[in-house]
Structure 1
Amino acid sequence: MNKSVTTDFRPMTRGHNFVVQSDGGNAKALVILPPFADEMNKSRHIISQFMRQATALGYSCILMDHFGTGDSEGDLSEASLALWQADLTLLVEQLAADGYRQLSFLAIRFGAIQLLDLLNQSNLALPVKHVMFWHPIFELKKFWQQFFRVKIAEQMALGEKLSQKELEQQLVDGEVIEIAGYPISPTFYASTYEGDFTLPGGLTGINPLISWFEVSQMTTPGANVQKYLSQLQQSCPVNFKMVAEAPFWNTTELASADTLLNASVQQLVQQDV
């Protein structure tokens, strides 16, 4: 990457969060909201490639590890969605103070849930020009269902039966559940249900350009995707595209996503014309 990349620990609501930031050379900031837990580990190399390519187009890309994740301070068991939202709001305030005048988001998987909550409940210090989704999750119930399956599969491998209902009850009873090495606390679990994930919600008020790239080998969107796409399209113009890639966030080995990257970069180029 020709443009400079810096790493720093930015002061946030309850500590210092680790931030990777590139310098695109102008006032356009692009904040990346990553997927959750191990999905982020399998996506980080793809995100790094996107940051390099977007930076070459003049975007300053910002990737922040949330409190309790990655190299940031704190433990995940002490985190909450409200805390992460407060940190993102503060990050945008810091970017405005740094001289940025325009804001875009790339929301990946769980990052889409976070973005909806952020836009529905926060007044951001910068105008949002563009929102890009990569295979977004808009339904919290679906997110937890997929994540709990990891724990259920772990227990099945040990010859033990476990249901999602039992896991949810353990959290309600105050227990911390470890899933694939990540401690999920009752506080964090409950905080996700306190978010506002109304769609299109805050997107209608800011009226940004919206791009949605759905990673699938199918040529047409499934019923669930079509439902949320229709909700968005009722209020916002959406550039929707099916991208034939492997689900890189969930593959056994690290996978490439060249088609997705090319489509995303092309969209950035087109919107700046």
Structure 2
Amino acid sequence: MVRTEAFFLSGDQGARFCVAYHPEARPCAAVLLIQAFAEEANKSRSNLAAVARACAEAGYLALIGDVGGTGDSEGDFAEARWAGWIDDLKRFAAWLVERSDGPLALIGLRQGALLASSALAEGLTADALLALAPVASGKLALTWFLRLAAAAELGENPGARLDTRALRASLDVGEPVEVAGYSLSAALATALEAATLEPSDSLRLGWVEIGTGETLSAAASRLLEKRATRGCADFSRLLPGPAFWQTQEIEMLPTLPALCVEFLGEALR
């Protein structure tokens, strides 16, 4: 039977809210689930919890943590920094490693995969990364986020154009911008835009795209093909289902947990 444990992980940067999913026996490995960005995190929390529970049922110790300024963790989103979030992932990973006998895998949803890749480049040690519906680059992630604000303006003014140039101009001079109720600092925007999803060849990579497409995106194909030429044996899947991180109502994707466990079984054996 899976046991859940909600707690605050203390540290120099403030307390971070976590939910751990414990398997019945001593865990054979550990899994850190990394959430999406801003409102997408709220929309997808139920699906990530379902994945974490399935991981625990398969014998893994799983953890979902709120990075600084998000969820129930201390701090304000306006003060959040990419480097601080990387430090949070390292703290979460250290907690898991202390309580598990085996390797560590990361599961990053959307921009969470970008954050995981940045953390790996900054010294976080893991054996595998599963990127779920990942945004291919930080530049694209920032553009999509800013377009939310532009779309909100369009809704208020039918004559307005969907234009993010004014928002980018504010960020360029160091001013925060308001997007969907979140105050995005120039520092966080700059770091997000510079992020890339390019994990080391020594890491087992999984790439899952969710939707109605019949083939992987061009960005995914290019990345996986380059890695294949270097001898990487990566995992890729197309998973039919709703883009639950952006649907108006909370939608579940029942096939997602089993797919994540399938990847872990291959990557951590």
TM over 0.5: yes
Which whole-Å CA distance do the structure 2 matches of 1:35 and 1:198 have between them?
14
Q: 1:198 to 1:151 in 2, by over 3 A?
A: closer
2:247 — aligned with what?
251
1:234 — aligned with what?
229
Q: 1:21 to 1:225 in 2, by over 3 A?
A: same
3-state DSSP class of the match of 2:235?
Answer: strand
Alignment-mate amino acid for residue 248 of structure 2: T
Count how many residue pairs are aligned between Structure 1 and Structure 2: 264
* Cα deviation, residue 77, structure 1: 0.9
Alignment-mate amino acid for residue 229 of structure 1: L
1:184 aligns with 2:184: yes
For 1:81-100, what aligned pairs fall within 5 Å after superposition? 81-100=82-101
Which whole-Å CA distance do the structure 2 matches of 1:93 and 1:148 have between them?
34
* Cα deviation, residue 143, structure 1: 0.4
* Cα deviation, residue 5, structure 1: 0.7
* Cα deviation, residue 119, structure 1: 1.0
Bigger mean CA deviation after superposition, 89-98 or 233-242: 89-98
1:21 aligns with 2:20: yes
* Cα deviation, residue 123, structure 1: 4.5
1:78 aligns with 2:79: yes
Bigger mean CA deviation after superposition, 100-109 or 65-74: 100-109
Which whole-Å CA distance do the structure 2 matches of 1:112 and 1:134 have between them?
7
For 1:1-273, what aligned pairs fall within 5 Å after superposition? 2-24=1-23, 25=25, 26-124=27-125, 128-159=126-157, 160-161=160-161, 163-193=163-193, 195=195, 197=196, 199-200=198-199, 203-204=200-201, 207-235=202-230, 236-270=232-266
Indicate the RMSD between aligned Cα atoms, in angstroms: 2.0
Which whole-Å CA distance do the structure 1 matches of 2:143 and 2:229 have between them?
28
Percent identity over the alignment is: 25
Note the alpha carbon deviations across 1:198-219, whole angstroms, 9 max, x for none. Answer: 624xx22xx2332221112121
TM-score, normalization by structure 2: 0.90
* Cα deviation, residue 161, structure 1: 4.3
Q: 1:271 to 1:225 in 2, by over 3 A?
A: closer
CA contact (8 A) 1:135 1:215 kept: yes
Bigger mean CA deviation after superposition, 17-26 or 229-238: 229-238
CA contact (8 A) 1:245 1:260 kept: no
Alignment-mate amino acid for residue 176 of structure 1: P
CA contact (8 A) 1:112 1:138 kept: no
Alignment-mate amino acid for residue 20 of structure 1: V
3-state DSSP class of the match of 2:42?
Answer: helix
| Structure 2 residues not aligned, in runs of 5+ | none
Q: 1:100 to 1:69 in 2, by over 3 A?
A: farther
Which whole-Å CA distance do the structure 2 matches of 1:29 and 1:172 have between them?
40
Note the alpha carbon deviations across 1:164-219, whole angstroms, 9 max, x for none. Answer: 22111111223221111111011211233455x3624xx22xx2332221112121
* Cα deviation, residue 20, structure 1: 0.6
| Structure 1 residues not aligned, in runs of 5+ | none
